[in-house]
Structures are given as C-alpha cells and as structure tokens.
C-alpha cells in the first residue's frame, strides 16, 4: 500500500508542475518591416497579433530594430488597436531612444507599451503605429509588439 501512495504523490507533483508550466505565457513577438530610408509622418505601420488566450494578463512592449541613422531621443507615436470584434482603442505613447548609446550597425531594444493587458477576444488584434515627428524617421528597420 505504501508504494501506491508514494506513486500517487509523485503523480500529484508532476500534475502540479505541468499545471504551473501551463500557466506561464510564452514570449511572442510580431515584427513588421519599416523602410529604413524613411518612415514618413502620418504613414501607419500595421502589426497583427493573433490571440488565443483570453484569460491571462499580458505585458505588451514595443520592439525596435534600427541602425545608426536613427537619431531620435524620443518619438511620439499614436497607437490604434483594433480587436477581432472591431472594437477600437486609441492612445499616444512615446518611443525613447538613447542618443548616448554607442550605436552599432544594428541595434534592438524593447520598451513597455501596456502592462497587464487582457486580450479578452480570440482572434487577430491589429496595432497601427503612426509617428507625429515633423521629419521622416530614418534607420528604423522593423518595429513590433512583444507579448509576455
């Protein structure tokens, strides 16, 4: 009888470990190419994020890949989000670069966008980013959304 309860205890521990592992959200990044020669004012960049988890809270971040031509220390972005049902949200955020950082040919950085977001609908969320700088943004190769 003791062997059965020991085996049962191991099975319970394995089930708990699997349940805990299932609760952690994988890191997912969706990137969209940007013309590195210039992202002009008013031109939107669209990023699609497919969602199947309607219960978990996610931290969403902007991911940017750029080269040494990107010289903005801050860039105001308008973010329009459309849920699968068509519901929309609109807000502004500022993308911060660091002009003091030694800029190699290619650089990637991440900046928080929304903490604790619940994507409550299953399907495709569309993020449209538009910058409001008076001049075109050069040196940005890709921009995207990371979900953790």
**Distance from first CA to last CA of the chain, Å, rounded?**
45
pLDDT (0 to 100) of residue 56: 92
Task: Give the C-alpha separation, 124 to 122, whole Å.
Answer: 7
Residue 4 counted as domain residue: no
**Whole-number pLDDT of residue 99:** 55
Q: What is the pTM of this model?
A: 0.76
- What residues in the chain have per-residue pLDDT under 50? 1-4, 21-22
Q: Is residue 20 part of a domain?
A: no
- 87 in a structural domain: yes
CATH number at residue 111: 2.60.120
Q: How buried is 115 (Cβ within 10 angstroms: 0-12 exposed, 13-18 middle, 19+ buried)? A: exposed
Q: 89 lies in which domain range?
A: 26-147
Predicted pLDDT at 107: 81
Residue 1 has a pLDDT of: 45
């Amino acid at each position: 009888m003791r062997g059965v309860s020991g085996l049962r205890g191991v099975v319970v521990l394995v089930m708990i470990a699997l349940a805990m592992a299932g609760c952690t959200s994988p890191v997912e990044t969706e990137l969209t190419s940007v013309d590195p020669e210039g992202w002009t004012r008013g031109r939107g960049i669209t990023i699609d994020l497919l969602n199947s988890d309607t219960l978990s809270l996610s931290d969403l971040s902007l991911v940017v890949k750029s080269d040494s031509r990107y010289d903005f220390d801050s860039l105001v972005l308008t973010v329009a989000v459309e849920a699968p049902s068509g519901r929309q949200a609109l807000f502004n955020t500022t993308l911060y670069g660091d002009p003091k950082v030694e800029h190699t040919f290619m650089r990637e950085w991440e900046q928080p966008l929304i903490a604790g977001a619940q994507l409550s609908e299953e399907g495709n969320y569309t993020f449209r980013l538009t910058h409001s700088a008076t001049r075109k943004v050069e040196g940005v190769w890709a921009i995207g959304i990371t979900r953790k």
